Each structure stands twice: as C-alpha cells, then as structure tokens.
Amino acid sequence: MFKPERMSLLQVVVQDADVIRACACLVKEKAIHLVDRAHVAPALREGTPAFFSSVHADLELLNGVIEQLRGWIREELGEVPRRERRGMSLIDPPRTVEELKPKVLAAQGEFERRQGRRASLQSELQRLKQISDTLQSFETAGVSYGEMCAFRHFGFVAGVMPMRSMGLLRASLRQVVYHVEVRRLDENDASVIIVAPKEQVGAVRAALRSVYFTEVTVPEEYRAEAAEAMDRLEVEMWQVREELAQVAQELRGLSEEVGEWVEEAGWRVRANLRVLEAMQLFGKTARTTCINGWVPREAVPRVVGRLRSELGGRVIVHASEPETSGGLAAEVVKRGAVRVPTKFRHPGFLKAFEGLVTTYGYPAYDGIDPTIFVAGTFLLLFGMMFGDVGQGLVLMAAGILLAKHRFFRPVRNVGWLLSATGVSASIFGLLFGSVFGLEGVIQPLWFLPMERVQTMLVVSIVVGVCILSLGLILNIVQAVQRKKYREALFGQWGVCSGTFYWLTLLVFYASVVRGARLSVWLTIAVLLLPIVMVVVGDILYQRWFEKKVGEEQGEEGEHSLAEIIFKPVEIVLSCATHTISFVRVGAFGLNHAALMMVVYILARMGGSFDGQGATFTTRASFVVFAIVGNLFVMVLEGMVVFIQCLRLEYYEFFSKFFAGDGIRYEPLQVEDA
C-alpha cells in the first residue's frame, strides 16, 4: 500500500513454432509488461518471424476494409450493431487472416456493388431531373427546345447554376449581347437559359465556367413535344426512384446481416495486430524466440505454470528481481537500460484516489506510493473547507449514483471520489453544526466557524504544518530507502531543513503563543545552525564520501556559488510560504458559511418562512430560493474547493517528496483493442 507492487523480470524462451501459443497464453494472463529485447539482450535479432511480415500486411488491409465496412453500416443503420463479447478473442494471426479475409473481402464486394449501383442511379436521376427542369424552363419561356435548336443566327446555352452567382454571371457577360431566362428551382439553384448570337456563344460558355454553371443538353428523344417528353421523364424518374429504394433496402438488409459479425471481426483483427506489434519487442535466435517483460511478483508462479501447461513444457523461464544484486533485473536497472513499471496495489476504497495521484504522475518503483496519504489529507482539507451535513449527503448520494449506474460506468471512480468527499463534508458539518447552511439546527460537536474565526484559521495552519511535516518525513524515509543519504541529510527537504522548520515553529509557539522570553542570540544560533548545515554539511559530505558513495549514487559535481547562496534562502521562503498557504483552508471554510448566510438573507427578502406575515407564497418563495441557492453554492464552491485541495496536494505536499517520474504498468492485453 505504501510502495508500488513488487515486480520480477521474466525471460521466456520458446520455439518459433510455439510463439503464437505463448503470446495467447500471456494475453490471457494480462500480467506481462513487455520490455524491448534491445535493452535486455541487444545481441538478439528483432523477434517477429519473417513469415509474419505478409500476415501483418494482410491484417492491416483487413483492418482498413473493416473500418470502411463499419462506416457504410453506420450510414445505413446509424450505428454498428454490437453484441456482448464472450470469452477471449482468438490470438492466431495466420489463422485469423485465413478465416476472415475471404469473408471480409466478400462483404466489401457486396457493399461496393450496391454502392456503385446506387451512385449510378443517383447520377441518372440527377441527369433526368436536370433535363426535366430545362424543358420546363423552355416551356415557361414560351418556346420549345427543338425550335431553339433550329435558329440559324442565334444560339443558346441551358443549364443549372447557384442563385448566389447570378450577379457574377451578369458581370461576366457585360461585353456580350445576350438574353437570359431564369427560373428558380429552390432556395439555392436556378435553371438558366442564355440566348446570344451564334458567333458569341463560345464567349458565353467561357464566361459560364467561372460561375459554377452546369450545362444541360437535352437528348434527341426528348426534343419532340414538350408535354410528351415531360411525361416520359416523370415515368423514368419514378422507375429510377423505385430502383434506388430497392438498393437502399438491400444495403440496409446487408448491414443488419453482417453488422455484428463485422464488429466482432474488427476486434479480432485489432487484437491480433496488437500481438504482432508486441512481437517486435521480442528477441530472436535461429530457432527460438525470447520474450522479456515485467510481471507482478505474486503472479510469476501462475504465469510460469500456465506457460508450461499450454506449451507442454517446451519453454524456458527465468525470473529475477531488481532488488536482488547480481541478477539480470538488477543489472539492467542499474545501468539505466530498463525502468521498472509502477503498478498500484490498493484496497477498493483507495482506487478512487489513484486518479488524483496519476494526474500529477506515477510514483517511481523505488519510491513511496502517496495514494493513502493523498486520500487522508485530501478528505481532511475538503471537509474543512466544505463542512455541511446536508450538502455533504447530497454529494454522497450523487457520487453513489455515478458509481452504481451503468450509464456512468466510465466515470465510476469519480463517483466514489465524490461520495468520499461528501462523507467528509458531512462529518465536518456535524463538527461545525451546519445543515444546508443553517446554523443552530443541530448543536456543533466542535465550534461554529463564523463565531470563532481565529480558531478556524489557527486550526488550518496546524493542519498545514502536519501535512508539510508528513511530506518532509516521507522524503527523508524515501531517500534512506534509496540509500541517498546525502539527500536525506542535507537535501532541500532533508533532516537539516526539517530541523530548521520544526525549530522555527517551536520558537514561534514558545515566544508568541506562550509568551516565553527567549534569548535572541540563542534563538538565532538554534535557527541558523540547521540552515547552515544544509550547505556546509552538503559540501563536506560530498568531499569526504564522494569517492566511496557519491559515484555509486550518481551525485552531482561541485556546488556553484549561486546554489550556496540561494539554497538556504529558498528553503526559508518555501517553509514560510507553504505554511501560510494553508490559511486558505480556514478562509474557504469561513467563505462557505458566509455564502450560505447570504443565500438565506436573499431568500428572506422574498418573504419569511415562519412568523405572523408568513403565507403560502412567501414560504414557497423561501423554499425555492433556498434550494436554488444551495445548489448554486454546492456546484460553484464545490469545484473551487476541489481545485484548492488539488493545489495544496500538488504544490505544498507533493513538492516535498514526490517527483511523479515513474512509468505506468501496461500489461499485454487485447480487451481494449
């Protein structure tokens, strides 16, 4: 709970013929965080067998085709049908290609044939409609298309263009003698006929190219009687629409038929692609494949046992621990070739707080896992700033709804976090005697914040001192565990700086709070000694133990003058500012009480809830305003308090010991493929 889960470096050697079965076994276990063979055994070749290169290309092709099919199905049905997955997808790239490729390509062919037919019919329908619109425009103008074609000295151009381009058309034809007939088709387009002398028809066509004009030529069979041609066109368009409806019905039926299968096939293809990509991290000899990765120590026997069972004993497995000197894991970690991933191991009630830690970063494998400390301090700070029984219970109920309802499953941990903050707010509401901002409804178990402002601010400072001290202690413990004794003793948040901080607090308490008369010179000497030791002790430690310890621990070189001067100044200022920063805890606690007072003052302006002048209208107005005001304060101040808690955690607490420079444990798995 206080450190990430212990890991072992697993080396698995299998025959090339068993590599797929080994991968399937590791995928089922979901326990191995793969490591590139170049970092563990650089002498080995890349681990993907040559015969998988064509398989990888086929899987990429299938993945692209399946995505295309999913897009077509989504166009027809609105979404791709899904069914609940049962069991693990088959991990066998060659077999996956062999089984799925014919079916996927056949489905693609069926869709393309119908899509092509629909596109052809849509194009034909558009052509017929344009011919019909053009003939109707000639009829509206009082002349037939055939008569216009018989003119000897005049020519014409007919077609469709956007209405917005009419002004541009007239400007383009300024130098041409012409006559134009315009019939609006809809809000955007118009049917246009332009008549001009035959020698200028070419200039007209040239001008029309810049105004999005689509010329329409009426075929010979429609140039006879206009009414007869229009009737014939209507019949043909009706037939095309009937065919389009039939094709659309076929496409919808095909989508419903293959939809679930396509979704399942896509998941299987992506899962096998992920395994092939993982194989690029494997190492390769002439006939064997070497798989390297980090496995949680308690899962090693289970993984090894399953590998031996699945492969019939045709496997060599070697496990080593980074804490055991002389082993491969310790060696690769020491030279910096490989970093151990961080895997949390928390009870259920702490999982909601993992997100608060990982938003800042992952703890290093050899560092302290701060999740349990974050859970305690975060809830303490939130409760002090948002202490209210009623509002806390509302937050708790909202959090339970988010955590339990299936619709909010992706944010389940957010729900549990909200629920935990609601419990904390309710507990502090009992201590402060506040129920939906009403004081006096219940007797406070501690005190009323607005009546004891000074106490509220002092308590917040005391809480801040405890949290900062916890950060200092954790940093010292962590440095000792890493055998970085120089950092533990003389680091910015080591023993010396911690001694200075605690002595300063002790002097302040004795002289200011208790009123004791302390010797000025003794006080200065007591406070000055630890802050001087931060620099002097650091320099002496480096000079005396550098050859024995410094090189092993990777310590830095000589100190610069700027570091010698500003390091003590930074420690003094940081101690002061970080402590004072916790005043905001008390300030926001008072602010919450003040806001609720304002809410009820405004509510009473619409009429009192009780008393001689109270009526149904005034009571309803009071209740509505009180509810709206409580909701407003809960949302607004809840977000502000949450952000302030994060700020205090990240900048005041984490800055003492937590760097967030670890790497996430990502086991080989395909469920999210």
- pLDDT of 184-193, one tens digit each? 988 889 999 9
Instruction: Specify the pLDDT at position 305.
Output: 94
| Same domain as 376, residue 333 | no
What's the pTM value of the predicted model, to 2 decimals? Answer: 0.80
Instruction: Specify the pLDDT at position 81.
Output: 83
Classify strands 438-439 and 45-46 as parallel, antiparallel or unpaired: unpaired
Does some domain include residue 469?
A: no
Q: Give me the CATH number covering residue 1.
A: 3.30.70.240
Give the E-state strand segments of 173-275 in sequence order. 179-184, 189-197, 214-215
Average pLDDT over residues 479-487: 90
Does some domain include residue 87?
A: no
* pLDDT exceeds 50 at position 554: no
Q: Show the domain range for 287.
A: 1-47+280-343
| Same domain as 539, residue 631 | no
| Same domain as 592, residue 566 | no
Interatomic CA distance for residues 39 and 274, integer angstroms: 21
Instruction: Specify the pLDDT at position 146.
Output: 83
Residue 602 CA to its chain's centroid (Å): 41
Does some domain include residue 514?
A: yes
Does some domain include residue 321?
A: yes
Confidence of residue 140 (pLDDT cuts 50, 70, 90): confident
Question: Which position has the higher pLDDT, 546 or 466?
Answer: 466
* pLDDT exceeds 50 at position 572: yes
Single residue among 576, 611, 632 that ends a domain in this structure: 576
Interatomic CA distance for residues 397 and 71, integer angstroms: 40
Q: Give me the CATH number covering residue 223.
A: 3.30.70.2750
| Same domain as 442, residue 534 | no
Instruction: Specify the pLDDT at position 581.
Output: 95
| Same domain as 211, residue 159 | yes
Non-local (6+) Cβ contacts of 403 within 8 A are: 412, 413, 415, 416, 419
- pLDDT of 223-260, one tens digit each? 877 788 888 899 999 999 999 999 999 999 999 999 98
Q: Exposure string (b/e) for 557-586, b if CB count within 10 Å is 16 or more?
A: eeeeeeeeeebbeebbebbeebbebbebbb
| Same domain as 488, residue 395 | no
Q: Which long-range contacts does 278-281 make (Cβ < 8 Å, 24+ apart)?
A: 278/23, 278/34, 278/668, 279/19, 279/23, 279/47, 279/48, 279/49, 279/52, 280/46, 280/47, 280/48, 281/34, 281/35, 281/36, 281/37, 281/47
- pLDDT of 159-184, one tens digit each? 999 998 888 888 888 888 889 899 99
Q: State percent of the chain over pLDDT 70.
A: 95
* pLDDT exceeds 50 at position 553: no
Instruction: Specify the pLDDT at position 409.
Output: 78
Single residue among 179, 212, 241 that ends a domain in this structure: 241
| Same domain as 429, residue 363 | yes
| Same domain as 234, residue 153 | yes
| Same domain as 447, residue 369 | yes
Confidence of residue 549 (pLDDT cuts 50, 70, 90): very low
- pLDDT of 250-296, one tens digit each? 999 999 999 989 999 999 999 999 999 899 899 888 888 999 999 99
Does some domain include residue 69?
A: no
- pLDDT of 394-438, one tens digit each? 999 999 999 888 887 788 889 999 999 999 999 999 999 999 988
Return mean pLDDT, the chain: 88
* pLDDT exceeds 50 at position 654: yes
| Same domain as 133, residue 231 | yes
Helices 495-508 & 561-581, crossing angle to 10 degrees? 50
Non-local (6+) Cβ contacts of 228 within 8 A are: none
| Same domain as 549, residue 588 | no
Single residue among 576, 599, 633 that ends a domain in this structure: 576
Confidence of residue 124 (pLDDT cuts 50, 70, 90): very high
The count of domains in the chain is 4
Question: Which position has the higher pLDDT, 381 or 519?
Answer: 381
| Same domain as 188, residue 41 | no
Does some domain include residue 58?
A: no
Does some domain include residue 300?
A: yes
Instruction: Specify the pLDDT at position 273.
Output: 92
Interatomic CA distance for residues 146 and 480, integer angstroms: 101
Instruction: Specify the pLDDT at position 555.
Output: 45
Does some domain include residue 626?
A: yes
Instruction: Specify the pLDDT at position 294.
Output: 96
Question: Which position has the higher pLDDT, 536 or 300?
Answer: 300
Structure-block tokens of residue 390: 């009623």
Percent helix, percent strand, percent coil in the chain, to nearest 5: 65, 10, 25
Listed range (83-92, 204-213, 342-351) with the worst mean pLDDT: 83-92
Instruction: Specify the pLDDT at position 562.
Output: 67
